[in-house]
Structure 1
Amino acid sequence: MSMQPQYLSAPGSPDYCQLIYDTDRQWLRVTWQGFVGPEQAREGALAGLQMLRQLHCAYLLNDNSRLEGPWFDSLFWLSHEWGPAAAQAGLRFVAHVAQAQSLATTYTPTPAHQIFQQFEIQVFEESAEAVEWLSSCQTETDEDSARASA
């Protein structure tokens, strides 16, 4: 199933959120850039959730490396509302590329994998590392499926 890329814009923040489904890799890539306020962050997260539901997509690459300024810190909303809904939509693996210079402060004192227990999440500094990890998750999942049906 192919889906049109989605670009969200706000006054002063053109294309602050880009949601692109990679049909070859079968994952959703969400790229954030510029200054993103809480309203835009929630809007982008909900747009991503809608795409996950439509695609029954198990893999999400969330890239915050191009963000500027403070990132919205609604971990409570993400973990209590967005997370369970995303897992229900079929999400199993999330590769999160952290905003530059924020990795040390973003998830402390609670690591991401303790906040989101519905799916596996890993935090990376580089987009390339995130892509590599997500690909390895897919390879393992494909091998598990092959073993199960053998």
Structure 2
Amino acid sequence: MTQADPEARKGWMALLAKAPPERLAALMPEPPAHTPLRAPETGAVMVRGRAGGTGAPFNLGEMTVTRCSVRLACGIVGHAWVQGRDKRHATRAALADALMQTAAAPAIRAQVLDVLAAEAAAVRAARAGKAAATKVDFFTLVRGEDQ
């Protein structure tokens, strides 16, 4: 059993929560033996926003989420909150969180997290490329009478 760095744990939990459910299922086809502490349950959370990213916070609206908590046979507990209603996604994410706190962490990082991170980076790069293709650069020519 290892003590997870809170910042590292925050990173892998975000990656698992944002992963496409079918991709996480493909990377973790056979979940390990576990006991549900909190069976997957769906609810809503209030999403807050800020005008311009720095203004006063305001309630943007509600978002559907599913949460789950599991305990591995060794006693390690994993948690997950994922967007939407996919209970299997929440369970797999919680299992991956628990496994990342065990000696299996390097294998889970290589087989699951690194793959998901690379795929997410590729999606971000493709989106940035599409956005860059629509960028317009404005420039001003100096006229003779302006000098």
Q: Which has the higher contact order (CA 8 A, sep 6+)?
A: 2
Larger Rg: 2
| TM-score above 0.5 | no
Question: Given the two structures, how large is their TM-score scaled by the length of structure 2?
Answer: 0.29
More helix by share: 2
